[in-house]
Amino acid sequence: MNTQVNHPIRLSQLTQSIASTLEDAFREMRFWVIADITSHSYKADKQYHNFELVEKDPRSNAIIAKINGKAWGNGSLRIAEFENTTGQRFTNNLQVLLQVSVEYHPLYGLAITLLNIDSSYTLGQLEQQRNATLRRLVLQNEFIQKIGEAYITDNNRLKLNPVVQRIALISSSISAGAEDFRHTLENNSFGYAFKVDDYFATVQGDKNAGLLLEKLIAVYDSGIRYDAVVITRGGGAQTDFLIFDNYRIARAAAKFPIPIITGIGHQKNQSITDMMVHTPTKTPTKAAEFIIAHNRSFEERLFSFQKDIIIASQQLITVHGRALIEMRHNLANTVKDTLSERKDALVKLNLLTINATGTIFLSNSQKLHVTANRLTASPLRIMNHKNNGLGNLRERISTANAQYNKNRKRELDNFTTLFKMISPRNLLKKGYAIIKLEGKVISNPEMLEPGMKIDVILSQTALTATIQNKTDYDGTELDI
């Protein structure tokens, strides 16, 4: 004890002795170490990384080992290769497999130097966590089913409204992705209008999952009938997207009663939340383009339906126009036949009238001769008697002739009424039409072909139309 007090050494001598001892012990040794990164910082101008490696107890999560670490030169290049391969930033809370050497510096103390980093280990760890979360989602929630490689959820079973206009946007308040989403919607080439309500939240880092979940709840509690919920964020490292692999976020998205569209800027892989929602897209711009395309599809269906209505109307007009032409032709023939028959009847009636009148006059002339002879025998008596008879006869002839003319006039009036009823003017008033081609009435449909311009004459209107289609029609569906 006294010897030690009498022969003290400087601290630098002690640290140098420790350094020499550790250098002799670890000079040629390299170790592959599994640890978590904390307290990471990076000086880009010097390409120098400082960090701590820690190991946590898997049961209590308490730190059971810790050591300082650094990387520069080739080690910094290995970190850059790791970030490029995995899409992960080399940053805090990331479990890695590192190749290190052990060093001791008299001033800075014990530390390890990063020589290499195993990208496949980190990817494997993340993939294991991801697969475990997916299995848990399926096993613990009946509204999530896995069919083949696809996940069927309550949310992606929902049917998008034909037109998406009222949107709840969940994004960061400083997100360029949200601005891209709004810009794409507002500058669509079809002039569609949208109403977008902002629900700002931090959308990166697994620790912010609770905040994102609160925004989903706020959308639901708003009572607003949103057509869709859109979740966006800009690009970033894969670790920035771990929030979208969170069990609670994925579960809430799978059960959410409003269709969710994601555009979280992750080009390499789908997040678990992407698998649970109605429509995943790669970027905020793609999400906006999807909504615009969805609305355009509905508008195009309307245009197609309008076109079908026009074509069907033209076909009906063509079919019924042909039927009207045929009816007009039949009507003209019927009128012609009727007039011919009535004319013959009138001729016969006229001959009968002339013959009857001649017979009556001849009969009465004979009676007059007899009467004249009688008058010669007894002029005054016979004259008075015959005068009375002649007056009665004249009255009967006049009455019979008047009745006969009255009956003939009634028949003629009936024919006139019939002719007026079946005249083209009255038929036009009942909804029929006359088709003219180059100013001539067309009764033969063989003269009409698609592309021809025709005049359609209605009761009080004349239309000019172009024949779009010509089909045979048997008239079975004509309802007059």
Question: Is 343 a member of any domain?
Answer: yes
Q: What is the CATH number of the domain that holds 105?
A: 2.40.50.140
| Structural domain count of the chain | 3
Residues 184 and 213 reside in one and the same domain: yes
Let me know whether 108 and 184 are in one domain: no
Verify that 208 and 254 share a domain, yes or no: yes
Q: In terms of domains, do 386 and 405 share one?
A: yes
Q: What is the pLDDT along the chain (480 residues), one digit of tens a residue?
A: 455 667 788 887 888 888 788 877 788 889 999 999 999 999 999 999 999 999 988 888 788 999 999 999 999 999 999 888 877 788 888 889 999 999 888 888 889 999 999 988 877 777 788 888 999 999 999 999 999 989 999 999 999 999 999 999 998 877 788 899 999 999 999 999 999 999 988 766 556 778 889 999 999 999 999 999 999 976 554 555 678 888 999 999 999 999 999 998 765 568 899 999 999 998 999 999 999 999 999 999 998 888 888 888 888 888 877 778 888 788 878 878 788 788 878 888 888 878 777 777 777 777 777 776 765 666 666 667 777 777 787 888 888 888 888 888 888 888 777 777 777 777 777 777 888 888 888 878 878 888 888 888 887 888 888 988 888 777 665 555
What 3 state SS string does the chain have? CHHHHHCCCCHHHHHHHHHHHHHHHHCCCCEEEEEEEEEEEEECCCCEEEEEEEEECCCCCCEEEEEEEEECCHHHHHHHHHHHHHCCCCCCCCEEEEEEEEEEECCCEEEEEEEEECHHHHHHHHHHHHHHHHHHHHHHCCCEEEECCEEEEHHHHCCCCCCCCEEEEEECCCCHHHHHHHHHHHCCCCCCCCEEEEEECCCCCHHHHHHHHHHHHHHHHCCCCCCEEEEECCCCCHHHHHHHHCHHHHHHHHHCCCCEEEECCCCCCCCHHHHHCCEEECCHHHHHHHHHHHHHHHHHHHHHHHHHHHHHHHHHHHHHHHHHHHHHHHHHHHHHHHHHHHHHHHHHHHHHHHHHHHHHHHHHHHHHHHHHHHHHHCHHHHHHHHHHHHHHHHHHHHHHHHHHHHHHHHHHHHHHHHHHHCCHHHHHHCCCCEEEECCEECCCHHHCCCCCEEEEECCCCEEEEECCCCCCCCCCCCCC
What pLDDT was estimated at residue 1?
Answer: 47
**Are residues 331 and 209 part of one domain?**
no
- My answer on whether 7 and 67 are in the same domain is yes
**Given 68, 85, 117, which residue is the final one in a domain?**
117
Residues 453 and 417 in one domain: yes
Q: Are residues 155 and 92 in the same domain?
A: no
**289 within domain boundaries:** no
CATH of the domain at 182: 3.40.50
Domain that holds residue 333: 300-466
Residues 110 and 28 both lie in one domain: yes
Same-domain pairing of 359 and 237: no
Indicate whether 479 belongs to any domain. Answer: no
